[in-house]
């Protein structure tokens, strides 16, 4: 072997060693691991495309299509502990809350990053990594639920409260901002084509935005977007459009000593059941107004699920699936899994969780409900493996729901 060849081999070995060492650096590892995984998923879907969301399977008995006429309201078990405010003073035409230090999200981390920026506005000094480590320790876990964000605040930043509600509107957002409360909303974003699952990807995904201001003159909100940048603008109409697929969900932080003020600002939204009752009526009306609106039907199903009206909810979800939903819908929302399980439609539960696993393999919620479907079919071995998978993705998942499920087999 010539000296030149030896030098080349030594240089290549040195570069390989540097690459291995560099890969151990957490920031480098997360970026490279993310890109490698995206490439692997893309190749897999070129060979075996995931396809559109499956429509409902035949089942017996066959109930009628869910009625959209006004029905009696769901009973409310708890009398609201506030006096609803019928009118509010006029809002200023422009509001701007001082923006927090901008935090660019790491992969799959818009929820922790948005919450981190919001917490900074209340004196918190951590970052998104600290939040993610607690509620989604696996970087491949692509979703954070509102319940998980609230759980983090209540257990790790207990000097603050976080509440989330559904059925929000533009005026409510403005009212909160005018009272100096930044608001987090869950909405839609269009992914970078480089993040596509395959050649037929619709690039539709959920995204948390932090709202810090508004301007009636331009009809725009100011948002802190962890994916695209700080102090961006979005029109009222565009936000409404992108907010709708997530039942107009919003989150707000506040100091406990200002709870009475928060009750006044939220009015009937303060009581969670009354908030859902009002949102159920609104989603029912929206589906009646436009029966071709898949998101209206989906929201209707989710609000019915909240009141444990599972058979009706399953039919509403059937309609949404028939019209067509984005392929990532079940990465973020799991009401259909509950409704199909509790209404005894196990074939639909398994079909939908199978589809969801094909889109997002690292989803603890999907594996949990896939396991319940297998368990109901008598496949205890498969159910155990599914629940173990859920537990491995997120050991902190909803107070160890996967481990509680495993106890069914003991």
Domain ranges for the chain: 14-46, 54-68+294-409, 94-254
ω before 61 within 30° of 0 (cis)? Answer: yes
Determine phi and psi for 56, rounding to 5 degrees. -65, 145
Helix extents (H) in 101-183: 110-120, 128-135, 146-156, 170-178
Q: Is the pLDDT of residue 36 over 70?
A: no
Q: Are strands 229-235 and 161-165 parallel, antiparallel or unpaired?
A: unpaired
Torsion sign across C-alpha atoms 111, 114, 117, 123: negative
Q: Is the pLDDT of residue 9 over 80?
A: no
How far from the centroid of its chain's Cα atoms is residue 245's Cα?
10
Please tell me the predicted confidence (pLDDT) of residue 70: 38
More confident residue, 7 or 228: 228
Q: Which two tokens stand for residue 389?
A: 């998978």
Output the pTM of the full model. Answer: 0.86
Summarised one tens digit per residue, pLDDT across range 20-32 is: 455 455 555 555 5
Instruction: Band the pLDDT of 199: cuts 50, 70, 90.
Output: confident
Please tell me the predicted confidence (pLDDT) of residue 265: 98
More confident residue, 129 or 4: 129
- Separation CA 262–CA 252 (nearest Å): 9
Please tell me the predicted confidence (pLDDT) of residue 242: 98
Closest by CA to 337, choosing from 382, 309, 369, 359, is 369
Helix extents (H) in 244-363: 259-266, 272-289, 294-306, 310-323, 329-332, 335-342, 346-359
Across-strand partners of 210? Answer: 184, 224
The conformation of residue 191, written as its DSSP 8-state character, comes to P
| Residue 298 CB neighbour total at 10 angstroms | 27
SS3 63: coil
Q: How large is the average pLDDT for residues 285-301?
A: 98
Please tell me the predicted confidence (pLDDT) of residue 322: 98
Least confident interval from 37-51, 253-267, 303-317: 37-51
More confident residue, 280 or 19: 280
- Separation CA 243–CA 186 (nearest Å): 6
Q: Is the pLDDT of residue 39 over 60?
A: no
Summarised one tens digit per residue, pLDDT across range 127-169 is: 999 999 999 999 889 999 999 999 999 999 989 999 999 999 9
Most confident option among 72-76, 108-112, 195-199: 108-112
Q: What is the CATH number of domain 94-254?
A: 3.90.70.10
Please tell me the predicted confidence (pLDDT) of residue 28: 52
Q: What is the CATH number of domain 54-68+294-409?
A: 1.25.40.10
More confident residue, 12 or 111: 111
Q: Which two tokens stand for residue 97?
A: 């809350």
Please tell me the predicted confidence (pLDDT) of residue 80: 39
Mean pLDDT of the chain: 88
CA distances from residue 213 to 48, 112, 231, 234 in whole angstroms, order as listed: 45, 21, 9, 11
- Separation CA 302–CA 134 (nearest Å): 27
Q: Is the pLDDT of residue 58 over 70?
A: yes
Please tell me the predicted confidence (pLDDT) of residue 95: 98
Q: How large is the average pLDDT for residues 375-404?
A: 91
Determine phi and psi for 319, rounding to 5 degrees. -65, -45
Q: Is the pLDDT of residue 11 over 90?
A: no
Please tell me the predicted confidence (pLDDT) of residue 24: 57
Sole residue written with tokens 């660019």: 104
Determine phi and psi for 229, rounding to 5 degrees. 145, 175
| Residue 127 CB neighbour total at 10 angstroms | 17
């Amino acid at each position: 072997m010539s000296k030149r060849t030896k030098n080349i081999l030594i240089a290549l070995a040195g570069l390989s060693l540097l690459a291995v060492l560099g890969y151990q650096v957490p920031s480098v590892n997360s970026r490279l691991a993310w890109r490698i995984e995206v490439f692997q998923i893309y190749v897999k879907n070129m060979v075996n495309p995931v396809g559109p969301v499956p429509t409902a399977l035949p089942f017996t008995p066959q109930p009628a299509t869910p009625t959209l006429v006004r029905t009696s309201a769901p009973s409310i078990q708890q009398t609201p502990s506030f006096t609803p405010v019928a009118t509010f003073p006029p809002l200023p035409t422009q509001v701007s809350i001082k923006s927090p230090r901008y935090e660019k999200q790491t992969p799959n981390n818009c929820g922790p990053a948005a919450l981190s920026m919001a917490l900074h506005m209340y004196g918190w000094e951590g970052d998104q990594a600290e939040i993610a480590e607690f509620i989604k320790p696996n970087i491949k876990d692509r979703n954070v639920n509102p319940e998980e964000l609230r759980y983090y605040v209540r257990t790790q930043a207990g000097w603050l409260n976080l509440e989330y509600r559904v059925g929000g509107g533009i005026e409510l957002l403005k009212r909160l901002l005018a009272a100096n409360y930044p608001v987090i909303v869950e909405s839609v974003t269009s992914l970078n084509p480089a993040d596509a699952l395959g050649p037929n990807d619709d690039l539709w995904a959920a995204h948390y935005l932090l709202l810090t201001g508004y301007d009636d003159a331009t009809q725009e909100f100011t948002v802190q977007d962890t994916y695209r940048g700080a102090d961006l603008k979005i029109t009222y109409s565009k936000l409404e459009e992108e907010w709708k697929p997530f039942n107009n969900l919003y989150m707000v932080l506040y100091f406990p000593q200002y709870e009475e003020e928060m009750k006044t600002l939220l009015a009937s939204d303060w009581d969670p059941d009354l908030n859902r009752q009002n949102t159920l009526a609104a989603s029912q009306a929206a589906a009646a107004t436009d029966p071709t609106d898949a998101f209206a039907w989906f929201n209707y199903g989710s609000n019915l699920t909240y009141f444990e009206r599972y058979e009706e909810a399953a039919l509403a979800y059937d309609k949404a699936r028939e019209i067509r939903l984005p392929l990532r819908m079940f990465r973020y929302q799991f009401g259909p899994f509950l409704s199909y399980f509790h209404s005894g439609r196990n074939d639909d539960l398994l079909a939908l969780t199978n589809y969801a696993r094909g889109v997002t393999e690292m989803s603890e919620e999907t594996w949990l409900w896939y396991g319940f479907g297998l368990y109901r079919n008598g496949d205890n071995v498969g159910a155990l493996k599914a629940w173990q998978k859920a537990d491995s993705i997120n050991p902190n998942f909803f107070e160890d729901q996967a481990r509680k499920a495993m106890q069914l087999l003991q």
